[in-house]
Amino acid sequence: MLYSINGIDITKNIITNSYSMNAEDVYEEWTDANYRKHREVIRQRVGGRFTLKFLTEETYTDFVSLVANCKSASGSVPVTAFVTNQNREVEAEMYIAFSPQVYKTKANGKVITSFEVEVSEP
């Protein structure tokens, strides 16, 4: 499983080569009196992007409804994601953003049924 929202697996809609979720250090950096830089790691933050492809408008509206129904007061949703640079799964509250916001948007004469999704921990 690559990605699930509130326990519902959406991996089948992910274009696999587009999936990239990485953990990066959140740290404080300072320079001491000897001009040496130091970093204190506070935590790791997971984030990334992938492309979702929906074959029908119903699966797209199911996805939009799932995200809308699972959002907390802060706007984040509970997800389980596979972190590619650490080869492990994490469960976290993440923000999710995607566009276009409508199914079958026309751009340059083509019908778009796939969406770039960006997710990140607060």
Q: What is the pLDDT of residues 50-90, one digit of tens each?
A: 998 888 888 888 888 898 898 888 889 999 999 999 999 99
Q: 4 phi and psi, to 5 degrees?
A: -140, 150
Count: domains in the chain = 1
Give the span between the Cα atoms of 38 and 80, in whole angstroms: 33
Arithmetic mean of pLDDT, 117-121: 90
Residue 107 has pLDDT above 70, yes or no: no
Residue 100 has pLDDT above 70, yes or no: no
Arithmetic mean of pLDDT, 9-33: 91
pLDDT grade for 21, boundaries at 50, 70 and 90? very high
The pLDDT of residue 114 is 81
Which is more confidently placed, 60 or 91?
91
- Residue pair 97/118 in contact (Cβ under 8 Å)? The answer is yes
Strand order in the sheet with 20-31: 8-9, 3-5, 77-83, 88-99, 114-120, 37-53, 20-31
Q: pLDDT tens for residues 24-58?
A: 999 999 999 999 999 999 999 999 999 988 888 88
Q: Which CATH number is 100's domain given?
A: 2.40.30
Global pTM reads 0.76
Give the span between the Cα atoms of 122 and 106, in whole angstroms: 32
Domain with 17, as residue range(s), is 3-120
